């Protein structure tokens, strides 16, 4: 089976990795890099549990080949906390009890990061639209929407400083 070395940035670190051509990004992250925060929920782009950032944009890693990362930057949930400090979205998810079983949480947070990058001041509807590709069976989304709205406000204040 064909394989090749890809050069890319993973959670802030430059890497060269030998990957199989037919390996999905989610399997590469989990099986080869042992970054198990990215979850396999459906493996067909329908649940969002495997969402990662590709060049800062949230995409499902089950509908992406590992080789496609060559020359790009990947951030997984493990790369969101910087220098031991939680991202405001992570912090608000904790404080607002915006998670239960937690299986959708990493993907949900990656989508929220991407959403707030694109739209720092979203309406409630825009938040719901931004995470509509992340299914959650536990929470009814109420506290998740609340946490993202609250994080947006906190981040806006940080930018203002």
> In angstroms, what is the minimal distance from the CB of 38 to another protein?
7
State in angstroms the smallest separation of the CB of 33 from another protein.
Answer: 11
- The reply to whether 129 sits near another protein by the rule CB under 8 A is yes
Closest to another protein by CB, 135 or 160: 135
**Does 154 participate in binding another protein (rule CB under 8 A)?**
no
Give the contact letters, 49-68, x = binds to another protein (CB under 8 A), - = no: x-x--x--xxxx-xxxx-xx
Question: Counting Cβ atoms within 10 Å, is residue 56 exposed (0-12), middle (13-18) or buried (19+)?
Answer: exposed
- Number of Cβ within 10 Å of residue 133's Cβ equals 17
Rounded Cα distance, 149 and 120, in Å: 10
* Distance of alpha carbon 154 from alpha carbon 94, whole angstroms: 14
The residue (of 10 and 161) whose beta carbon lies closer to another protein is 10
- 145 counts as binding another protein under rule CB under 8 A: yes
Angle (CA) 23-26-28 rounded to 5° is 50
* Count of residues engaged in binding another protein, rule: CB under 8 A: 83
**Residue 32 binds another protein, judged by CB under 8 A:** no
CB 151 within 8 A of CB 92: yes
Q: State which of residues 86, 117, 120, 156 lies at the interface with another protein (CB under 8 A).
A: 86
Least spacing, CB of residue 88 vs another protein, in Å:
11
Q: CB of residue 13 vs another protein: minimum separation in angstroms? A: 16
Query: What phi-psi label fits residue 38: left (phi over 0), alpha (psi between -120 and 50 degrees) or beta?
Result: beta
């Amino acid at each position: 089976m064909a394989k090749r070395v890809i050069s890319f940035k993973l959670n802030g670190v430059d890497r060269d990795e030998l990957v199989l051509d037919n390996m999905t990004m989610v399997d590469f992250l989990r099986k080869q890099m042992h970054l198990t925060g990215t979850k396999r929920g459906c493996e067909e782009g329908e649940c969002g549990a495997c969402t990662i950032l590709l060049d800062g944009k949230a995409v499902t890693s089950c509908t992406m080949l590992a080789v496609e990362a060559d020359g790009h930057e990947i951030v997984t949930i493990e790369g969101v906390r910087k220098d031991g400090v939680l991202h405001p979205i992570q912090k608000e998810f904790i404080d607002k009890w915006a998670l239960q079983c937690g299986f959708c949480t990493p993907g949900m947070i990656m989508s929220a990061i991407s959403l707030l990058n694109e739209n720092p001041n979203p309406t409630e509807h825009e938040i719901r639209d931004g995470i509509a590709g992340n299914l959650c069976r536990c929470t009814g989304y109420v506290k998740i929407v609340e946490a993202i709205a609250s994080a947006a406000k906190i981040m806006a204040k940080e930018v203002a400083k």
